[in-house]
Structure 1
């Protein structure tokens, strides 16, 4: 017996972080979640699986129009022709109270009840599927505690949308413990909600398949579902399958050895070339380039994210490749030293460093600086406000981080000019 376990498909959820750029792959961003799901349906048909389980968040929330539902019905129709049933559980994003628009589902799609746990028996396979959909998005009760006892002589599969213990990055929906799932007596738990692939083996096999398609830079790396093989003895073999169509990647570039802005830009270009050589030839990559290191180029690089982004775009263009798309460039470099060498000098630079170090505790100076900068922040266009992290701090009157960053950067830049 074989089945596909998927979750967190978020159909028609937008990919964020690229669409604002003129060079963005607009069509790919618009259809990525659908294309990944179509790939999953293709795989199910090719592998002739016995059934598919979707463990919550098929949709990203209420439909903007009926096209999302029509698309899903079409894909389910393809599975119906192939004789593949689908067992669908709703999670927090597509909970019963979240969805005002609905369409009748094809007859091969079976939905877990939201009022109480329900069970679907597949007697010809010796399988029982147990689950309960979310009635309300903010479901914080332990749903697993009410799931039925396992049916003797059958492979029991629990379908559950849950944060599970220890996943602090995710909202605490339908909380339960791993120990509780292992103790239930089921052979497999098909989980959803956590977007990273995770698997635990014990008395049961417990799996988060992750989401089908990464939607932003916090969801890097391969994405997909799992194909589960169950032998006659009930042993489970779990195979991860990747169906995503665009992959997010964080490219770290250490510029410690660079002496200038130009050298740092060339180091990034070399890193891009190496990434292309090592990465999958067919997969478009949405990149965040993170530039770090303690470097002599720190002063030249400070505040130059916009210019450095243009240099990275030029490097991508020079590589003649249409698989790389730049999401953002982040600068996280540090000055080459802590300023001790300057303190030992008896000149204007040493005086400037002393002034900047004492500025953080000079309330009169801080008030004046905030007044000057607030005028700039108020007049700045929205795209600039989102691009400069210190704007929010300036509005809140918290200038400490800005001063800590400015001091070594300004002094290092002036020292280089000298």
Structure 2
């Protein structure tokens, strides 16, 4: 038999990081999670699977309207026509929505109970699926302890939405240990909640399939579900199914050897060409370019992120057409000179450097600077509030880090201009 295990679909969740730009692929961002799910259903039909398991976070919290549910029902209708049942466990995001609980689903969709663990038996396949949906978002107790023992003579699948041990990056929902899962005696654990693909073999095969579609720069690489092949002796094969429609990629470019902005752009261009060559897939890629290195070009780059991004956007268009989108260009370079060469000049630039160093401990100056910058911060567009990391520090009056970071860039820029 074959079944698909998916999780963390987050239907109609927006992709973030690109929408603030006029050149962004708006339509693709708006429909990406639906398009990925449509691809998954198509795969299920073409692969002639026996059933599908969705291990939580089918939805993305409170719905804005019923269209999300209508779309999901239409996709379930496609599976019903070919006789594929779907077993859905609600996770923390699903538990947030009242509409989730009221939606009438097609009769090929089965929901795990929220009050206690429930078991679905597929006698013709000799399969038993065990699971318990989240009733409340803040489900922090260990649910595994209440799951029933395996049904003798059947292939037992445990379905669970959990942070599992060691996943500190994710909220600690339904925590449990890997040892507890293996000890339960099931053949396969279909997990959800952690958005990265992970697999453990042992007494049980334990799998996080990852989320279906990367939604921001922290979810890089190909995304999708898994297809499991099993027989009476157990799990035979676990294959990844990539169904995403846009991928995120972090690209670090060292520009230590560059002397000017034009050289930096050229080096980035070569790095983008390498991304295209190493990713023959036609799936579009959203890239965050981070420029690093102790470089003579640091002064040229000071305060020119928007110009640099425009240059990189032009490169991306020329190199990858509609396949490449630049999510952000982040300048993380440092000055080649540690300040001693400027200080030895004993001129106005050296005095400025000394003043900026002294400003880090000048409380009156820092207070005045905060007052000046707050006017800018409060008028900034909403998308910039989260995008500019120093906005939070400015509001809190913690400007030492800002002054410290600006100093070498400003001094290098003025020295180069001179």
Q: Runs of 5+ in structure 1 lacking a partner?
A: none
Alpha-carbon distance change, 36 to 75 in structure 1, aligned in 2, over 3 angstroms: same
Cα distance in structure 1, aligned partners of 2:374 and 2:2: 61
Q: Deviations over 1:231-274 (max 9, x none)?
A: 33113421111000111111211111111112112222222222
Cα distance in structure 2, aligned partners of 1:317 and 1:156: 50
Partner of 2:300: 300
Partner of 1:334: 334
Q: For 1:208-357, list aligned pairs within 5 A.
A: 208-319=208-319, 321-357=321-357
Whether contact under 8 Å (2:308, 2:329) holds in the other structure is yes
Whether contact under 8 Å (1:98, 1:137) holds in the other structure is no
Q: Deviations over 1:9-65 (max 9, x none)?
A: 111111112222222212211211111111111111111111110001111123322
Partner of 2:112: 112
Cα distance in structure 2, aligned partners of 1:375 and 1:82: 61
**2:129 match: secondary structure:** strand
Partner of 2:70: 70
Cα distance in structure 2, aligned partners of 1:114 and 1:385: 38
Partner of 1:91: 91
Partner of 1:140: 140
Cα distance in structure 1, aligned partners of 2:32 and 2:7: 16
Partner of 2:188: 188
Partner of 2:406: 406
Alpha-carbon distance change, 378 to 34 in structure 1, aligned in 2, over 3 angstroms: closer
* Deviation >4 Å, runs of 4+: 379-387
Q: Deviations over 1:343-368 (max 9, x none)?
A: 44433333332222222112222223
Alpha-carbon distance change, 388 to 104 in structure 1, aligned in 2, over 3 angstroms: closer
Cα distance in structure 2, aligned partners of 1:329 and 1:152: 57
Whether contact under 8 Å (1:87, 1:110) holds in the other structure is yes
Partner of 1:165: 165
Q: CA deviation at 1:296?
A: 0.8
Q: For 1:387-398, list aligned pairs within 5 A.
A: 387-398=387-398
TM-score, structure 1 normalization? 0.95
TM-score, structure 2 normalization? 0.95
Q: Quick check: 337-346 or 11-20, which moved more? A: 337-346
Alpha-carbon distance change, 385 to 63 in structure 1, aligned in 2, over 3 angstroms: closer
**1:124 match: secondary structure:** coil
Whether contact under 8 Å (1:213, 1:224) holds in the other structure is yes
Cα distance in structure 2, aligned partners of 1:391 and 1:36: 35
Q: Runs of 5+ in structure 2 lacking a partner?
A: none
Alpha-carbon distance change, 415 to 277 in structure 1, aligned in 2, over 3 angstroms: same
Cα distance in structure 2, aligned partners of 1:118 and 1:195: 25
Partner of 1:55: 55
**1:405 match: secondary structure:** helix
Q: Deviations over 1:279-315 (max 9, x none)?
A: 1331111121111111111111122111111111121
**1:142 match: secondary structure:** coil
Alpha-carbon distance change, 114 to 386 in structure 1, aligned in 2, over 3 angstroms: closer
Whether contact under 8 Å (1:98, 1:136) holds in the other structure is no
**1:65 match: secondary structure:** coil
**2:407 match: secondary structure:** helix
Q: For 1:146-161, list aligned pairs within 5 A.
A: 146-161=146-161
**1:168 match: secondary structure:** coil
Partner of 1:80: 80
Q: Quick check: 378-387 or 308-317, which moved more? A: 378-387
Cα distance in structure 2, aligned partners of 1:208 and 1:404: 42
Whether contact under 8 Å (2:255, 2:267) holds in the other structure is yes
Cα distance in structure 1, aligned partners of 2:172 and 2:135: 16
Whether contact under 8 Å (1:63, 1:101) holds in the other structure is no
Q: For 1:364-403, list aligned pairs within 5 A.
A: 364-382=364-382, 385-403=385-403
Cα distance in structure 1, aligned partners of 2:306 and 2:213: 28
Cα distance in structure 2, aligned partners of 1:348 and 1:88: 69
Q: CA deviation at 1:195?
A: 0.6
Partner of 1:205: 205
